[in-house]
Chains A and B, each alone.
Chain A
Amino acid sequence: MTASIATNQTILVVGGGISGMTAALEAAECGKQVILVEKTPVLGGRTARLYRYFPKMCHPTCGLEINLRRIKQNRNVRLMTMTEVTAVSGSRGNYSVTLKVAPRFVNENCTACGKCAEAVSAEVPNPWNYGLDKLKAAYLPHNMAYPQRYVIDASIVGTPEGEKAKAACPSGAVDLEMKEESVTLQVGALVWATGWRPYDAAKIQPYGYGRFKNVITSLEFERLADPQGPTGGKILRPGDGKEAKNVAFIQCAGSRDENHLRHCSRICCMASLKQTQYVREAFGDAGKSTVYYIDIRAIDRFEDFYQMVQKDATVGFVKSKVARIAENAENGNPVLHGVDTEGYHRYATEHDLVVLAVGMEPEITGVILPDDVILDSSNFIEGSKDQGMFGAGAAASPLDVNRAVQSATAASLRAIQVIRKTASTEAV
């Protein structure tokens, strides 16, 4: 691709989730030039993979649609998908950023007609459903995908499958000759909106994630409840496809634990309370949810949501961090072992499905960032020494969507200040 025209008056936003989109739009709508880079082929990040938001229980598609329309309408935002930052040099007001652009193998002629997907038979694990199902190797990530452009998976390029996709395309959009590119840009300020990822639940050995099929993460549960998900919105457990009417939610799966994540991930209590309502939605009074918790942290204004769920007769609460999970070999049911804090009763309780409310780990954990970036003890971004780079949203702190948007707006304002100061210094 041709190098974008960028100057030290440009803001680079890294990450195209809800925080990155917000940060980019807020600056662009103030008339600033913004380049928004995203690692995956689509915008929306983890927000696009949620079924409903708390506390209003509305669908994320609604909020995303508004933001996508703002992006389409705004000429100041330049979007680069499948792009990663590989190096940053320079300082506040004058950074030089190197980007790596992975090939999509589909150019802008794509009309999203879907003929390539029909032609191809190879399949790849579906990252938008956390690998719970498979996707054709020529795919549109999901219905809300922006840009609405197909992707040819690199695994079929150079194979007869790739040629089939190319032959099927009526618009000549499939370009199997695309190569990885490196682009260098000059920018004035950076917003790191790199987001979060679920903590690797397999590391919490006593819970048996990965060993027991009916132990899943809260994010996988979102996909089960979603009509766009692998089960078409039916809550069927992965072990045997049986309806999971008796669901256990385990809080602090990884969070508030010196052996795993030392911080409280803040959102998980509300996420589980929300998910108990998915069970109710699916099965009515026949559903049963049990929340195992240390203490419920319904952050900020959400205490009323907690009280609403407490009144729900299908939802039970057990004050205890589950010590370990075993599996009933006969029916595949997970059995939860522990001691509850209210009375110190030892329990061994069987459920159809266990949902681990996994903690938020910064996506940049394990990534080498510029020396200047300051991280806290959990790898959340606090800012940079020269105050020209900012963390936004879940990259800066474990936040829900609402607070991530606030955080991104704040980061955007700080980036605008850097640009303004750079401009006035140059004018002198």
Chain B
Amino acid sequence: MTINQNAANQAAVERYRNNFLKEVEANVEEGHMVKMCMQCGVCAGSCPLGNAWEHSPQKIFMMIRAGKRAEVLGSDSMFMCTSCYNCMVRCPRQLPITHIMHGLANYAHRLGLAPKGQPTRDFATLFWNNAIKRGRVNELMLTLRHYFRGGLVSGIKEAMGMQSIGLGLLLAKRLNPMEIFGGHGVKDLKGFHAIIAKAKEIEDRKKGFTA
């Protein structure tokens, strides 16, 4: 957790005290809909991966209302969502469940409370950092970074395992080995970075991350 994150976290705890629901309503995308949940359990039962994660949306929503801040923001459940939208289309109250789960993941990530080493979170971070560097995704570097995330030995092993697919992509001209030298970017890189910076500034202000 960086100093900035820690400060934001402390500020949020201070501001909302024991009312985690209010905190979610104010800072999480579609968070105001959490209170509409009537605990029927259709989302939990409809989730195709439901038995693979600890907290179903139904349970997460009840935990929010019960003020279980640390458990909710430290849960890996939001990162396990594959965005199939089954819960959302079946919800009798039409809660935007998928969006809320994504919003919670984002909020937990920004506060630095999301579980460390969670694969979905790690890959999303990798992807984001890669994409904003030059405004375009450098697929070669993204793949390499992903393969070598666990060190040299496991990286080589993983890369060897995917060898045939890599060669195929190379022959089909879908993978450019020259990208290793930085790759191509957008035309106005400076302007692009200015847009991202402005967007971040607005979001920080909206979600209470500005000091």
Contacts and interface: CB of A to CB of B under 8 A. Distances in A.
Interface in A341-375: 341, 344, 346
Given A341-B41, A344-B58, A321 B92 contact: yes
Contact of B92 (A259, A338, A339): A259
A323 B42 contact: yes
A323 B90 contact: yes
Contact of B41 (A258, A260, A321): A321
Nearest to B87: A323
Interface string A322-335: 11100000000000
A257 interface: yes
B9 interface: no
B39 interface: yes
A346 B50 contact: yes
Given A323-B45, A341-B58, A346-B50, A294 B93 contact: no
B59 interface: yes
Nearest to A322: B45
Contacts of A320: 40-41, 45
B94 A323 contact: no
Interface in A147-186: none
Contacts of B162: none
A294 B44 contact: no
Contacts of B2: none
B56 interface: yes
B40 to A, nearest CB: 4
A206 B44 contact: no
B38 A294 contact: yes
Given A320-B45, A323-B44, A323-B46, A344 B92 contact: no
Interface string B41-71: 1101110001100001011000000000000
A256 interface: yes
Contacts of A344: 44, 56, 58-59
A257 B41 CA distance: 13
B92 to A, nearest CB: 4
Size bin of chain A's contact surface: 20 to 34
A257 B165 CA distance: 47
Contacts, number: 60
A338 B42 CA distance: 7
Nearest to A323: B45
B98 to A, nearest CB: 16
Interface string B93-133: 11000000000000000000000000000000000000000
Contacts of A260: 92
A51 to B, nearest CB: 29
Nearest to A340: B41
Contacts of A346: 44-45, 50-51
A369 B92 CA distance: 29
A252 interface: yes
Contacts of A323: 41-42, 44-46, 90
Given A344-B59, A346-B51, A338 B45 contact: yes
A252 B38 CA distance: 13
A282 to B, nearest CB: 30
B125 to A, nearest CB: 30
A337 B86 CA distance: 15
Contacts of B40: 252, 294, 320-321, 341
A324 B46 contact: yes
A403 B91 CA distance: 31
Contact of A341 (B39, B50, B92): B39
Contacts of B45: 320-324, 337-339, 346
Contacts of A252: 40, 92
Contacts of B92: 252, 256-260, 321
A258 B90 contact: no
A339 B56 contact: yes
A344 B45 CA distance: 10
Contacts of A258: 91-94
Interface string A133-158: 00000000000000000000000000
Nearest to A344: B59
B75 to A, nearest CB: 13
8 contacts: A206-B90, A252-B92, A256-B92, A321-B45, A324-B45, A338-B41, A338-B42, A344-B59
Interface of A: 206, 252, 256-260, 294, 320-324, 337-341, 344, 346
Interface of B: 38-42, 44-46, 50-51, 56, 58-59, 89-94
Nearest 8 A-B pairs (CB), nearest first? A323-B45, A321-B40, A338-B45, A339-B44, A257-B92, A258-B94, A320-B41, A339-B41
Given A323-B41, A341-B40, 7 more contacts: A258-B91, A258-B92, A321-B41, A322-B45, A341-B58, A344-B56, A346-B51
